[in-house]
Structure 1
Amino acid sequence: MIEINELTKRYGGTTAVHGLTFTVRPGRVTGFLGPNGSGKSTTLRMVLGLHAPSSGSVLIDGRPFRDRPRGLRQVGALLDAGEVHGGRSGRAHLTALARSNRIPRSRVDEVLAEVGLADAAKRRIGGYSLGMRQRLGIAGALLGDPPVLLFDEPLNGLDPEGVRWVRGLFRRLAAEGRTVFVSSHLMTEMEHTADELVVIGRGELIAAESLTAFAARGGATVTVRTPGHAALAALLAERGAQVRTDGEVLTVTGVPAAEIGELALRHQLPLHELSPRTASLEQAFMELTAAHAAHRSTNDLARSAR
C-alpha cells in the first residue's frame, strides 16, 4: 500500500506538487493521470525517496522507502527506461541490481524470460530498441518479486503485442495481491487496465476514485442525425439539454436517447440516426483537467471559453 499525505514539493518559487493526499491499495491496478507538467513524475520520485518533499509524507506499507536497505525486495519501479549503461548487457545490468539487493542470480534469468528478453540477454543495451529497453526496465522492477510496483509511462515504444503483454502482466500482478501504480497518458490503455484512478493537475488532486466513477463524470451523449436538426435542437434546448450541431448531426448531452426519439416522433421529425454513446475516460479526463493543463493551444483555450 502507498499512503500519500499532504505531499508538497517546491523548487524555489515554483510549486510542482501541492497538498496531495491519496492511497494506492493492493489487489488492483491504479492509474495515475494528469496533463503534461501536472507533477506525476515528481510525485513518483518522492514516493521512491529520489526527491525529498518540502512537506507531507509518503509511506509504503507503513514506512518511508528510504528506510528499506534492500529496496527492490519491497518496491519495483520503472521511471525511465533510458537511464541504464548502454555498454552493459541486459544480463549484466540486472545482475548488478540483484547483487546490490541480495537477490539470487537465478532470478535474473527468470525475469529476462518473463519479459521476453532471454535471447537478447547478452547483447549490449545500447543496441536495444526503445521497446526492448522498456521490457528491461520492467524486468528490473520485477527482479525482487516486490509487493509494490510503480511504472512511469511503461508502454512507450512497445508494439501492439507488447502492449497486450503489459496489460496482462499488470492485471496478473494485481490479482496476486500486489499494489500496482501506473502513470500513463494513454487513456485507451487505462480504460482496459486500471481499476482505480488518481488524477492530478498542476500538482493538485482532481480525483481519486474508481475508473467507472471517473468516466461517468464525462457524461453520456447521444448522436442524432436528422434533416430537422434546427427544430429538434431548439426542442431539446427547452428541456435543458446541451446540444452541439454539425450540419444535420446533433451531439446531445443531458437527455437520454429514448426521450429524444419520443420527442422527434411527437413533432414528426424524421431521424436517420439515434446512437447513444457511453461516457469515455478520455472525455472525462479532457473536461476535468482542461483548467489544469500547463501547455494549451489556442484552440484549447477557445474551447474552454465557450
Structure 2
Amino acid sequence: MIEVNELTKRYRKVNAVNGLTFTVRPGQVTGFLGPNGAGKSTTLRMLLGLNEPTSGTATIDGRPFRDRPRGLRHVGALLDAHDVHGGRSATAHLSALARSNGIGRSRVHEVLAEVGLTEVARRRIGGFSLGMRQRLGIATALLGDPPVLIFDEPINGLDPEGVRWVRGLFRRLAAEGRTVFVSSHLMSEMEATADQLIVIGRGELIAAESLAQFAARSTQQSVTVRTPDGTRLTDLLTTEGARVLPDDDGSFTVTDMTAARIGELAFHHRVMVQELTTHTASLEKAFMELTADSVEYLAGDRR
C-alpha cells in the first residue's frame, strides 16, 4: 500500500506539490493523472526517496522507501527508461542490480524472458529503441518480485502488441494482490487499464475515486435519437430547451435533456422513436473539464 499524507515540495516560492493526501491500495491498478506540471513526477520521486519532501510523508507499506536496504524486493519502479548505462548489456544491467539487492541470477533470465528481451539480452543498451528500453525498465521493476510497483509513462515507445502486453501485465500483477500505481497522460490507456484514479492539478488533489465515478463527473452527456419524423421531434426538443444536432447516419445527438424526458415528449406527441441511447461521459471529457483551471501551458494562451 502507498500512503501520501499532506505531502509538500517547495522550490523557492513555488509549491510543486502542495498538501497532497491519497492512498493507493493493493489488488487494483491505480492511475495517476494530471496536466503537465501538475507535480506527478515530483510526487513519485518523493515516494522513492529521490527527492526530500518539504513537509508531509510518503510511505510504502508503512515505511519510507529509503529505509529499506534491499529496495527492489519491496518496490519496483520505472521512472525514466533512458536512465541506464548505454554501454552495458541488458543482462549486465540487471545482474548488477540483482547482486546489490540479494536477488538470485536466475531471476534476471526470468524477467528478460517475461518482457521479451531474451534474444537481445547481451546487446548494448545504447542500441536499444525506446520500446526496448521501456521493456528493460519494466524488467527492472519486476526483478525483485516486489509487492508494490510504480510506473511513470510505461507505454511510451511501445508498439500495439507491446501496449496490449503491458495492459495484461498490470492486470495480472493487480490480480496477484500487488499495489500497481501507473502515471500516464494517455486517457485511452487509463480507460483500458485503471480501476481507480488519483488526479492532481498544480500539486493539489482533484479526485481520488473509481474510473467510473470520475468519468461520471463530466457534464457533457448526450443521447442518440433515431426517428422517421426528425423535423417534428427536433422542433419539440428544441422548444423544451434541448440542443439537437443531426448526424451523418440520419440519427440525432441531443444534449441538455435526458433520454427519459425525450421518450416522454415523443410518447406524448405520438412521435415514433426507433433508438434512444444515452452515452456516458468519457474519461477524457471529465479530465479536461476538471483540470481546466490547473493547466500550466495553454496553446494560444495570451496571458
Displacement of 1:286: 1.1
Root mean square deviation of aligned Cα: 2.3
Q: Cα deviation per residue 1:30-84 (whole Å; 9 max; x = unaligned)?
A: 0001111111111000000101111100111111111011111110000010111
- Give the whole-Å Cα distance in 2 for the aligned partners of 1:253 and 1:97: 56
TM-score normalised to structure 2 length:
0.90
**Secondary structure at 2:292 match in 1:** helix
- Give the whole-Å Cα distance in 2 for the aligned partners of 1:217 and 1:254: 15
Displacement of 1:282: 1.2
Structure 2 unaligned blocks of 5 or more = none
- Give the whole-Å Cα distance in 2 for the aligned partners of 1:129 and 1:25: 33
Give matches, 1:6-155, under 5 Å.
Answer: 6-155=6-155
Q: Is the contact between residue 238 and residue 244 of structure 2 (CA under 8 Å) also seen in structure 1? A: no
**Secondary structure at 2:58 match in 1:** strand
The amino acid that maps onto 1:133 is R
Give the count of matched residue pairs: 296
- Give the whole-Å Cα distance in 1 for the aligned partners of 2:125 and 2:231: 61
The amino acid that maps onto 1:297 is A
Q: Which residue of 1 aligns with 2:282?
A: 280
Q: Is the contact between residue 227 and residue 270 of structure 1 (CA under 8 Å) also seen in structure 2? A: no
Q: Is the contact between residue 229 and residue 250 of structure 1 (CA under 8 Å) also seen in structure 2? A: no
- Give the whole-Å Cα distance in 2 for the aligned partners of 1:229 and 1:130: 54
Q: Is the contact between residue 10 and residue 54 of structure 1 (CA under 8 Å) also seen in structure 2? A: yes
**Secondary structure at 1:80 match in 2:** coil
- Give the whole-Å Cα distance in 1 for the aligned partners of 2:175 and 2:268: 52
Q: Which residue of 1 aligns with 2:200?
A: 200
- Give the whole-Å Cα distance in 2 for the aligned partners of 1:246 and 1:291: 32
Q: Which residue of 1 aligns with 2:265?
A: 263
* Structure 1 pair 277–72 and aligned structure 2 pair: CA distance change class (3 A): same
Displacement of 1:90: 0.7
Displacement of 1:255: 2.7
Q: Which residue of 2 aligns with 1:304?
A: none
Q: Cα deviation per residue 1:149-195 (whole Å; 9 max; x = unaligned)?
A: 00000010111111111001001111111100000111111112111
Give matches, 1:105-254, under 5 Å.
Answer: 105-219=105-219, 220-224=221-225, 226-227=230-231, 231-237=235-241, 243=243, 245=245, 251-254=253-256
Displacement of 1:141: 0.2
The amino acid that maps onto 2:129 is S
Displacement of 1:198: 0.3
Displacement of 1:262: 3.5
Q: Is the contact between residue 228 and residue 270 of structure 1 (CA under 8 Å) also seen in structure 2? A: no
**Secondary structure at 1:162 match in 2:** helix
- Give the whole-Å Cα distance in 2 for the aligned partners of 1:284 and 1:252: 19
Q: Verify: 1:293 aligned to 2:289, yes or no.
A: no
- Give the whole-Å Cα distance in 2 for the aligned partners of 1:20 and 1:233: 45
Q: Which residue of 2 aligns with 1:3?
A: 3
Moved more, 253-262 or 68-77: 253-262
Q: Cα deviation per residue 1:203-223 (whole Å; 9 max; x = unaligned)?
A: 110000111111111243214
Structure 1 unaligned blocks of 5 or more = 302-306
The amino acid that maps onto 2:98 is A
The amino acid that maps onto 2:294 is H
**Secondary structure at 2:174 match in 1:** helix
Displacement of 1:102: 1.4
Percent of aligned positions that are identical: 71
Q: Is the contact between residue 223 and residue 273 of structure 1 (CA under 8 Å) also seen in structure 2? A: yes
Displacement of 1:100: 1.4
Moved more, 48-57 or 252-261: 252-261
